[in-house]
Amino acid sequence: MNSPAVVLQARDISRAFPGVQALSGAQLTLRAGEVHALMGQNGAGKSTLIKILTGVYAPDAGVIELLGQPITPESPIHAQELGISAVHQESHLLPNLSVAENICAGRYPRRPWTRGGGIDWRETERRAAELLANLGIKLDVTQLAGPLPAALQQLATVARAVSTDARVLILDEPTSSLDADEVQALFGLIRRLRDKGVAILFVTHFLDQVYEVCDRMTILRNGRFVGEYACARLDAHGLVAAMVGREIATAERPPAAETPAGSASAPAVLSARNLSRRGQLKPMDLELRAGEVLGLAGLLGSGRGELARLLFALDDRDSGDIAIDGQPAEIDDPADALRLGLGFCPEDRKHSGIVADLSVRENIALALQARMGLTKFLTLAEQRQIATKLVDALGIKTASIETPIGQLSGGNQQKAIIARWLATHPRVLILDEPTRGIDVAAKQELMSGILDLARGGTAVLFISAEIDEVVRVSDRILVMRDRAKAGELPRGATEDEVYSVIAASHQP
Amino acid sequence: MKPSVKRFTQHPLFWPTITLALLLIVSSVFNPSFLALTWREGHLYGSVIDILNRAAPLMVVALGMTLVIAVRGLDISVGAVVAISATVAALMIGGSFSATGEVQSAHPLWLALATALAVAAACGLWNGLLVVKAGMQPIVATLILMVAGRGIAQLLTGGQIITVYYAPFFVLGNGYFLGLPVALWIAASLWIALHLLLSRTALGLFVRSIGGNPEAARVAGVRSSAITLCVYTFCGLAAGVAGLIVSSNVKSADANNAGQLLELDAILAVTLGGTALTGGRFTLAGTVIGALIIQTLTSMIYSLGVPPEVNLVVKSALVFTVMMLQSAEFRQLVARIARPNPSLQGNRR
């Protein structure tokens, strides 16, 4: 087989931001009909490189060539006109428009003036339907986009991106909110586009997905180019080592003898009885003991996140009594939960975690200050001390603690939100998908951190869609299915055992 | 540009201050005695003092508005609350001539003032409840009181202008303390008190987090509802204070016209000062400068002898100019036109 034609080549790309050299001398070569993975830890420069390719940022140095011609994308729209389209993790459809309107947005076909001018809606729908049919997506284009499942929205977003005859398609973590079946549907689409000759750049934190769908990969580390590899030539272990620049130890529960004695028999810090909310969670009980990590496993929609939200009173419960240390506790809003020593890292950090405009210091101090109330004010010096300590302890990469948190990379934002709760010294910490969207090394650090926390006596409720993570860190595993408790497994249970509990529902 | 200069020009208060300075310069060109200050009858006298005095009610209202906007709200009922507060105070003080020819107050002055302020605060609380508890859009929730409030004030006065004869009440709007207008002292103390409250307690952090991301603030355990309620209540209270100053100044309460369109001036003052209407980022000092810009504009129009019928057109033209001057996009456009051959590289974010 001949080596496929090079479509896009970026050479020696550098870009600095105040206090950070985000990229220095990055290389990237995309070829027609290939899926190319861009790999690297949080802060490796992946996002910056993508933003340079799509014209969001101008590079300080370097050349981008498209089909041999040097180009300077000046804006995402300009990049699109040049043939470079991007689908971002958070690029959504407009929920109040139909699928067809979304797909043709900005390029609506017009009726000739002889027929009154204006937008030709019938043509809009025809074009959208034709596009989807060509891509093998079954979707009624007259439907509103808002109510569609996330996966179908994602497919339509990709369709919109390639509808401009894109030669290069950039997919930035497109799978992070999809479940296994939905990922397969997206991969089907990616393969069809690949076969049509589109050069695809795929960014993800899921290693198995890289090996499933990609042909080649480029690895970045600290803004520098590490290398380009054929996927068949570099195994997952080598990939991770190249990304982090060192061998990483896997976080694992120490053998039973090393864990603090009696965490299994320790009294419950938090117990909930008969907790329920209509349409979200069927009545269930839960006990959380000091110094243990309780894993919550289940598929999307199993009720795992809903349970966490009810415990922290983010949603009102229909029934259920919550007790702290055996004493009935009045938890009616998050402020009550905070006062009683609970902490909660939300799943959606952009929407309900960070306050983007505030500094890292202020974001970290927020929950502790909220618990101390209005008048007992943490002085600037105290806030700085707390923030500096936690930034160091968790290895948060930021130019300064006064940097607005919105400028940090996703994984560092996540760490800062966890730091916010560690600052309150919580007795119970609920972590809802804390590892979503962060890189492998950060995941490992985070999970070791969770284990350290539990050793310090904190009760941790760990929720993750990645069953292997749950299995690795948990003392007990609570398996959820169909918005109810499906079973409980002891420490040492395997992934297969968890899956068999989940799958049990499908047997009559 | 040197970094130090750049830091200076990028300070949020840079453009508001420049705007105010420009207006003052223009005013003094048209009226050479504009900046002159004289000491007469035991107090300072001059156009600048006059502007400060007249801007005081707007400053007070706009300070309350700043906090409401900072928590992603809006209060368009402040003008009506000014009218209510003015009416309540005027009715309770009233003023009748005693046999000796001395003017008596119907109720003790302190009681009248306290009642007026309490009613105004209750109005603010009502707005807050509609927004926080009933989940209404702020503009709709406060629209209700904007319309109803003036109606209530008119009901109270029976449609008449209530004249006050009790002299001690006039101190608020016409008196002087240490050579400066009492109204200015009131506005300044409110500003300082608010500044201390926001910087010496956690309130500033909470307000900015609620405005920046209400859901994240709630998840972090900030009592967003309670704080938002307080902020609306305070905004009502501030409008009440302004109502007292206004009615004291004109020695009467006019339910129809007191505080008319003040809500728009207040929002404008907040915007001119550099507070983001989208919430989160706010500046009290900017709001004070914004209020001064508006009052300087108004005074300028009067002193230029602009006929009343074109007054509003001239004012809006000036406001337009000021807003353009403060718009970063517009300044970039001007810079690009001035520099015909800009480099394509760099300078982008």
A374-409 per-position pLDDT tens digit: 888 888 999 999 999 999 888 888 889 999 999 888
Domain ranges of chain B: 43-305
Are A353 and A437 contacting, i.e. CB atoms less than 8 angstroms apart? Answer: no
Distance CA A304, CA A321 (A): 18
> CB neighbours of A56 closer than 8 A, spacing ≥ 6?
A75, A76
Q: Does residue B346 sit at the A interface (CB-CB below 8 Å)? A: yes
DSSP code of residue A107: -
Q: Nearest CA to CA, how far is B218 from chain A (Å)? A: 7
pLDDT confidence band for A65 (50 / 70 / 90): very high
Sign of CA dihedral B292, B79, B53, B241: negative
Tell me which chain A residues have a C-beta less than 8 angstroms from the C-beta of B349.
Answer: 57
For the beta carbon of residue A390, count every other beta carbon within 10 angstroms: 22
Residue holding tokens 């990616």? A190
Q: What is the CA radius of gyration of chain B?
A: 22
Q: Does residue B35 sit at the A interface (CB-CB below 8 Å)? A: no
Tell me which chain B residues have a C-beta less than 8 angstroms from the C-beta of A346.
Answer: 216, 219
pLDDT < 50: residue spans in chain B? 342-349
Are B161 and B253 contacting, i.e. CB atoms less than 8 angstroms apart? Answer: yes
Distance CA A280, CA A306 (A): 6
Chain-chain contact of B220 with A420 (C-beta, under 8 angstroms): yes
Chain-chain contact of B200 with A377 (C-beta, under 8 angstroms): yes
Tell me the average pLDDT across A153-158: 86
Are A289 and A485 contacting, i.e. CB atoms less than 8 angstroms apart? Answer: no
Cα A153–Cα A281–Cα A275 angle in degrees, nearest 5: 150
**3-class DSSP string for A428-475:** EEEEECCCCCCCHHHHHHHHHHHHHHHHCCCEEEEECCCHHHHHHHCC
Q: Does residue B316 sit at the A interface (CB-CB below 8 Å)? A: no
Are A61 and A224 contacting, i.e. CB atoms less than 8 angstroms apart? Answer: no
Tell me which chain A residues have a C-beta less than 8 angstroms from the C-beta of B218.
Answer: 314, 333-334, 352
Tell me the average pLDDT across A245-266: 52
Q: Nearest CA to CA, how far is B13 from chain A (Å)? A: 18
Q: What is the pLDDT of residue A504?
A: 67
Chain-chain contact of B348 with A372 (C-beta, under 8 angstroms): no
Q: What is the pLDDT of residue A246?
A: 61
A329 three-state secondary structure: strand
Closest CB to B209: pick one of A72, A358, A373.
A358
Closest CB to A57: pick one of B203, B217, B348.
B348
Distance CA A412, CA A406 (A): 10
Distance CA A272, CA A326 (A): 10
> CB neighbours of A226 closer than 8 A, spacing ≥ 6?
A219, A220, A242, A243
How many contacts does A have with B, using Cβ atoms within 8 A? 93
Helix segments in A164-296, DSSP class H:
180-195, 207-213, 236-244
Chain-chain contact of A355 with B208 (C-beta, under 8 angstroms): yes
Q: What is the CA radius of gyration of chain A?
A: 24
CATH code assigned to A6-93+148-244: 3.40.50.300
Distance CA A182, CA A161 (A): 19
Indicate if ipTM > 0.85.
no
Residue A38 confidence (pLDDT) above 90: yes
Are A442 and A469 contacting, i.e. CB atoms less than 8 angstroms apart? Answer: no
Residue A254 confidence (pLDDT) above 70: no
Orientation angle between helical segments B224-250 and B109-132, nearest 10 degrees: 140
Separation of first and last alpha carbons in chain B? 17
Residue A303 confidence (pLDDT) above 90: no
How far out from the chain centre does Cα A417 lie?
Answer: 14
Domain ranges of chain A: 6-93+148-244, 275-341+426-508, 348-417
For the beta carbon of residue A359, count every other beta carbon within 10 angstroms: 20
Chain-chain contact of A370 with B223 (C-beta, under 8 angstroms): yes
pLDDT over 70 for what percent of chain A? 93
Q: Does residue B280 sit at the A interface (CB-CB below 8 Å)? A: yes
> CB neighbours of A387 closer than 8 A, spacing ≥ 6?
A360, A361, A364, A365, A401, A419
Q: Does residue B223 sit at the A interface (CB-CB below 8 Å)? A: yes
Residue A106 tokens read as 């900005």
For residue B213, what is the nearest residue in chain A, using CA coordinates? Answer: A355
Tell me which chain B residues have a C-beta less than 8 angstroms from the C-beta of A335.
Answer: 221-223
Closest CB to A351: pick one of B205, B215, B222.
B215
Q: What is the pLDDT of residue A239?
A: 82
Chain-chain contact of A358 with B202 (C-beta, under 8 angstroms): no
Q: What is the pLDDT of residue A257?
A: 38
Closest CB to A338: pick one of B205, B221, B281.
B221
Chain-chain contact of A370 with B203 (C-beta, under 8 angstroms): no
Residue holding tokens 């958070």? A90
Residue A41 confidence (pLDDT) above 90: no
Tell me which chain B residues have a C-beta less than 8 angstroms from the C-beta of A369.
Answer: 202, 205-206
Tell me the average pLDDT across A3-20: 86
Residue holding tokens 């110094």? A291
Q: What is the pLDDT of residue A337?
A: 93
For residue A371, what is the nearest residue in chain B, using CA coordinates? Answer: B221
Distance CA B120, CA B80 (A): 10
> CB neighbours of B294 closer than 8 A, spacing ≥ 6?
B55, B58, B265, B268, B269, B272
The mean pLDDT of chain A is 85
Chain-chain contact of B219 with A370 (C-beta, under 8 angstroms): no
Which has the higher per-residue pLDDT, B6 or A369?
Answer: A369
Instruction: State which H helix or E strand residue A492 sits in.
Output: none
Q: Does residue B208 sit at the A interface (CB-CB below 8 Å)? A: yes
A66-115 per-position pLDDT tens digit: 998 999 999 888 998 899 998 887 657 888 889 998 888 877 888 887 77
Residue holding tokens 């914004």? B290
Tell me which chain B residues have a C-beta less than 8 angstroms from the C-beta of A18.
Answer: none
For residue B347, what is the nearest residue in chain A, using CA coordinates? Answer: A58
Are A151 and A124 contacting, i.e. CB atoms less than 8 angstroms apart? Answer: no
Distance CA A445, CA B178 (A): 64
Distance CA A310, CA A329 (A): 14
Chain-chain contact of A378 with B203 (C-beta, under 8 angstroms): no
Q: Of the ranges A113-127, A476-490, B306-320, which is most confident?
A: A476-490
Chain-chain contact of A365 with B344 (C-beta, under 8 angstroms): no
Residue B288 tokens read as 């004070």
Superfamily of domain A275-341+426-508: P-loop containing nucleotide triphosphate hydrolases (3.40.50.300)
Pick the residue of B213, B215, B231, B278 with the most A CBs within 10 A to test the interface with A by mutation: B213
Closest CB to A358: pick one of B202, B212, B345.
B212
A340 three-state secondary structure: coil
Closest CB to A355: pick one of B201, B213, B348.
B213
Distance CA B275, CA B74 (A): 13
Are A463 and A431 contacting, i.e. CB atoms less than 8 angstroms apart? Answer: yes
Residue holding tokens 């728009």? B264
For residue B223, what is the nearest residue in chain A, using CA coordinates? Answer: A335
Chain-chain contact of B206 with A334 (C-beta, under 8 angstroms): no
Tell me which chain B residues have a C-beta less than 8 angstroms from the C-beta of A314.
Answer: 218-219
pLDDT confidence band for A258 (50 / 70 / 90): very low
B242-259 per-position pLDDT tens digit: 999 999 998 888 888 888
Chain-chain contact of B212 with A357 (C-beta, under 8 angstroms): yes
Q: Nearest CA to CA, how far is A354 from chain B (Å)? A: 6
Closest CB to B221: pick one of A74, A352, A371.
A371
Chain-chain contact of A334 with B221 (C-beta, under 8 angstroms): yes
CATH of the structural domain B43-305, one choice from 1.10.3470, 3.30.70, 3.90.550, 3.60.21? 1.10.3470
Q: Does residue B169 sit at the A interface (CB-CB below 8 Å)? A: no
Chain-chain contact of B201 with A375 (C-beta, under 8 angstroms): yes
Distance CA A472, CA A492 (A): 8
Q: Is B191 exposed, middle or buried (0-12, 13-18, 19+ CB in 10 A)?
A: middle
Tell me which chain A residues have a C-beta less than 8 angstroms from the C-beta of B133.
Answer: none
Helix segments in chain B, DSSP class H:
3-9, 14-30, 47-70, 78-93, 109-132, 138-157, 171-174, 182-200, 203-212, 214-219, 224-250, 262-272, 284-303, 308-326, 328-338
A211-227 per-position pLDDT tens digit: 899 999 999 988 899 99
Distance CA B61, CA B68 (A): 11
Q: Which of A342, A349, A343 is nearest to A436 (CA)?
A: A349
Distance CA B58, CA B294 (A): 9
Closest CB to B202: pick one of A333, A355, A374.
A374
Distance CA B287, CA B187 (A): 12
For the beta carbon of residue A449, count every other beta carbon within 10 angstroms: 18
Closest CB to B202: pick one of A57, A352, A377.
A377
Tell me which chain A residues have a C-beta less than 8 angstroms from the C-beta of B346.
Answer: 58, 60
In Å, what is the CA distance from A110 to each residue of A78, A117, A128, A154, A342?
22, 6, 15, 27, 57
Comparing A6-93+148-244 with A275-341+426-508, is the CATH topology the same? yes
Are B272 and B19 contacting, i.e. CB atoms less than 8 angstroms apart? Answer: yes
Closest CB to A366: pick one of B205, B281, B344.
B205
Chain-chain contact of A57 with B349 (C-beta, under 8 angstroms): yes
Distance CA B346, CA B349 (A): 8
Cα A80–Cα A82–Cα A84 angle in degrees, nearest 5: 50
Chain-chain contact of B219 with A374 (C-beta, under 8 angstroms): no
Q: Does residue B12 sit at the A interface (CB-CB below 8 Å)? A: no
